[in-house]
Amino acid sequence: MNEKITPIFLILPALLFLLTLYLYPFILSIITSFVDDSGSVTFYYYNEAFTAYGQDIFFTLWLCILATFVPAVIAIGIAAYLRLSTVSIVRKIISILYRFPLFIPMVVVAQMMRTFLAPHGLLNVYLAQFGLIDLEQPPWFFDWKGMLIGFTWKQVPFMALIILGGFSMIDESMIEAARSVGAGYGRILTSILIPMARTSIAIAMILIFASNVSTFTLPYMLIGGSTPTTITVDIAHRVVYFGDWGTANALGTVSYLMVGGFSIYYLREMVRRGLYER
């Protein structure tokens, strides 16, 4: 009897912590998005959210999808090279360099991007040196383009680590067999690595998509109050300037729905892996 009760007491503090700080606010935010000040059920907040911020909702969705697929392509290339390359020195250098952004907070990344992507910042000055742009009329990166660059630089290392883990689980004999019949890097990548590590790739993309949707500092510091912007900036604006928690919670619920289906897949896969490892 004690053996059954003891594990429950061991996980109880962590469970209470999760219920209090995560699950309770999550459920409360959804409920309050459907309830007005008088306690009546209403869809007013959702009507306000889609009327005032419909463009931003669409912008958030397609930007986060784009900022998931672009880093995924780069991360797959890095992970494949680290898995297949036999040049140890180059592998060590790449391993050190590509992990560097992992240790930089998003707020620091946002400030770096503001300096790097400014109209007369380092990127435009560098492009002007090669005559690619006119520095008197520099291109504007404080929009979706700057967001994409910032997300890609920050998210590639995390995705590459997960994907590399999936690639490393593939039996070396399969790769050697492919090499013995003349398969190159590209053929091995498309025919062996990606198909056999598709679950790891999918999980990495899900985690990055959810992270992109929830990011506030990068869009706030790059785009600010301009239109279109992301849902997170709209939520902060609605709370700080209007004290409108109802519309803010409605926007939050929309973001939950964006990542909801992917999260279900992620949880099911984690449960399946846990049962398989047992």
Number of domains in the chain: 1
Judged by DSSP in three states, 205 sits in: helix
Tens of pLDDT, residues 158-216 = 999 999 989 989 888 888 888 888 888 888 998 899 999 988 898 899 999 999 999 99
pLDDT, mean of residues 114-125: 90
220-245 burial, b for 16+ CB within 10 Å, e for fewer? bbbbeeeebbbbbbbbebbeeeeebb
Tens of pLDDT, residues 71-105 = 999 999 999 988 888 777 777 777 777 778 888 88
Distance CA 189, CA 74 (A): 13
Question: What are 41's strand-pairing partners?
Answer: 35
Give domain status of residue 132, yes or no.
Answer: yes
Give domain status of residue 1, yes or no.
Answer: no
Give domain status of residue 256, yes or no.
Answer: yes
The alpha-carbon radius of gyration of the chain (Å, integer) is 23
Contact 200, 166 (CB under 8 A): yes
Range of the domain at 119: 43-277
Distance CA 261, CA 206 (A): 10
Give domain status of residue 22, yes or no.
Answer: no
Residue 49 has pLDDT above 70, yes or no: yes
* pTM score: 0.86
Q: What CATH number did the domain enclosing 236 receive?
A: 1.10.3720.10
